Amino acid sequence: MIIPFLQKKKNLSINYIFKALKIKENKNDLRIQDIKDLRTAGSKDLSFFNSLRYVDLLKKTSAKFILTEAKYLKLVRSFSNPILVENVLLAVSTVTNLFYPNSLNDAVDFVVKKPLKKNYKKIKFGSNVLIGKNVKIGENTIIGHNTIIESNVRIGKNCIIGNNILIKNTIIYNNVRILDGTIIGKKGFGFFPNQNMNLRYPHIGMVIIDDNVEIGCNNTIDRGSISNTFIGKNTFLDNQVHVAHNVNIGKNCIITGQVGFAGSSTIGNNVQIGGQAGISGHIKVGNNVKIGGGSGVLKNIPDNTRIMGYPAKDIRKFLIDNK
């Protein structure tokens, strides 16, 4: 189920994109359908490549054109049509704004209003609830006091959405419980530093929360930048957890209080993470991994591993070093 939360312009010519990037026009003025990540890009889409971490995705991508830097030019040319730029992420931001010109202007949904009970049968609302347009909520779901659900959000059956919650740009499946004070679907913390004015990075992805998930109090879950933020089935997040943009958390994970996930980190299934641990961006934590409280995870962690410390290391080595 894919719900568009932002309006996208129709197909753009490649030369229109080249002109915006201030590079030489292409002889064949093809039409580009969208900008997507390497994994989801189709044959009419544009994508980007700026790290060898994603070389396996590059080999499999269907993207017609790929934004990249000079050092990756030969590699990218083996699999797609490279577009050479000085700063890949800045170029991605420029192209994203071409396709989604309102992507930076969605801070407030001004069409939210008190829900009409005839439109939401078998749903219980608390006081001061506000609902946007085209919101769908499944049967036997409870929405708590002072909660705002912005336009186009989808919430499944038998969910409990607590008090003082904001949900936007999000799809929630069945039997999900979200506790008080949580914010889901806001833009991520992405920008380009500049001495005069920092340039904000557009976020066109969403948040997807699968069945039987529990989200604790005062959590913040950012929507994706190009891809989506995802939380897998039966995963439980304790209070004050931060999930940044494009994070992918697997099934049956237990995440305790004050854990932070940096952008584009991937967490496997059956992972347990102790309180105040930090997971660096763009790394992969395998299945059945246990991470001790207060740890700093700075590199990929293989399956069936127990780690602890900063930087995180095998727990037996950590205990020996700190005996």
Distances (CA, A) of 302 to 43, 135, 262, 265, 299: 33, 40, 18, 14, 10
Location of structure tokens 């829900």: 115
The dihedral through the CA atoms of 118, 123, 124, 128 has a sign that is negative
- Amino acid of residue 34: D
What is the maximum span of the chain, computed from C-alpha positions, in angstroms? 67
Q: Could you list the active site residues?
A: 245
Q: What is the DSSP string of 109-138?
A: -TT-BPPPGGGSTT-EE-TT-EE-TT-EE-
Contact 235, 241 (CB under 8 A): no
Query: For residue 305, which phi and psi values (nearest 5 degrees)?
Result: -115, 145
C-alpha–C-alpha distance, residues 180 and 119, integer Å: 25
